[in-house]
Amino acid sequence: MIKEKVFVVTGAGNGIGREVVLNLVNKGARVAAIDLDQEGLNETKKLSNVDDFYLRGYRVDITKLASLEKSKEIIVREFEKIDGLIHVAGIIQPFVKVNDLDYKDIKRVMDINFYGTVYVNKVFLDSLFKEDDSYLVNVSSMGGFLPVPGQTVYGASKAAVKLLTEGLYAELKDTNVSVTLVFPGAIKTDISKNSGVEMEDDSTNEKPSHKMLEASKAADMIVKGMLKKKLYVYVGSDSKMMNKIYRLAPKKATDMIAKRMEDLLE
């Protein structure tokens, strides 16, 4: 179904983004992989075991519109078309309350998670219109529909991604572009390190406080949801469960999450 279709994947140098790239190329798709981390892109290419026809990496800062537009020109020239965009790139904030969060950290989160999403979507959307059957996928977060203390600004940025994507769905529903919005729960990635957020070392703990989904499984759920043209994809049992609870009893769900976050905010 997607053999030799061309996908642009952001956040491709690690975590879910990398696993999405590997999932796509294993299905015969071609991928233009975008990330700010060149070493990460190189590792993704090495792990893929495919040549440049199927996978090329592009070091791009998605908050820099001119750089993003230039990369799009290069991608179109080298791949000749773009059938899909899977926008995974994003960062979290330091685990502190808003009152203790620096303004520079607030701006950085919003620049990458919200403005970066706007830029990526707008830059590549015109190419998606040119193909018969194309895909636009944005990754939000469980924190985009459920408030998480200590990640309030991150959640606000991902809530913005949620509503932006829903608006795009409404605008594009009668076109050739199918829109998918992804809500990952707790996924086993290096997002804290890649976001520049220091975490306490919990290597001495015998059991984690909650089970995290492998990034490869998350990627498979995203790709399958995209191909089925689902509007919403809830990745992980925690995301699915909390979505149901939050819809039925938002205050109860908020209190549950707040209780689980107490230790991180002490």
For residue 1, being part of any structural domain is answered with no
Q: Does some domain include residue 29? A: yes
Whether residue 33 lies inside any domain: the answer is yes
pTM of the model: 0.93
113-133 pLDDT per residue, tens? 999 999 999 999 999 999 999
pLDDT digits (tens, 9 = 90+) for 33-85: 999 999 999 999 999 999 999 999 999 999 999 999 999 999 999 999 999 99
In the prediction, which pLDDT does 203 show?
37
Domain coverage including residue 97:
6-190+206-265
| Cα distances (angstroms) measured from residue 134 to each of 7, 79, 144, 176, 221 | 9, 15, 25, 6, 18
Provide the number of structural domains found in the chain. Answer: 1
User: Domain for residue 48, yes or no?
Assistant: yes
pLDDT of 124-183, one tens digit each? Answer: 999 999 999 999 999 999 999 999 999 999 999 999 999 999 999 999 999 999 999 999
Residue 219 sits in a domain whose CATH number is: 3.40.50.720
User: What 3 state SS string does 24-72 have?
Assistant: HHHCCCEEEEEECCHHHHHHHHHHHCCCCCCEEEEECCCCCHHHHHHHH
Which stretch, 107-121, 185-199, 201-215, has highest mean pLDDT? 107-121
Residue 195 has pLDDT above 60, yes or no: no
Lowest mean pLDDT among 34-43, 104-113, 192-201, 251-260: 192-201
pLDDT of res. 1: 77
